[in-house]
Amino acid sequence: QVYIMQVCRNVESAPLNSDLQLAGLRLLTNMSVTSDYHHKMMNSVPHFLHLLSEGTERTQIQVLKVLVNLSANPAMTRHLLRAQV
């Protein structure tokens, strides 16, 4: 939990579609199953949307898993809808 924001930064700075980026997205997918850490991922939503439009199919699937988990939390609705790419 302490490193979630660092993992988000690593996902943002990693080369597009790299193994490092995918590994970070997989970790974020697992950490976002419960809503406990959603607030720590909030600032990365615009980047997730960018990856959704620019990434390969593997990257898009991982990003969608994170976004689906975030969307299950009503407190995240406003942040998801207001996010700009």
The 10s digit of each residue's pLDDT in 7-52 is 999 999 999 999 999 999 999 999 999 999 999 999 999 999 999 9
16: domain range?
4-82
- What is the Cα–Cα distance from 4 to 38, expressed in whole angstroms? 10
pLDDT of residue 45: 96
CB 51 within 8 A of CB 59: yes
- In the chain, the number of structural domains is 1
**pTM to 2 decimals?**
0.92
- Of 33-42, 48-57, 59-68, 75-84, the one with minimum mean pLDDT is 75-84
What are the tokens at 82?
């207001």
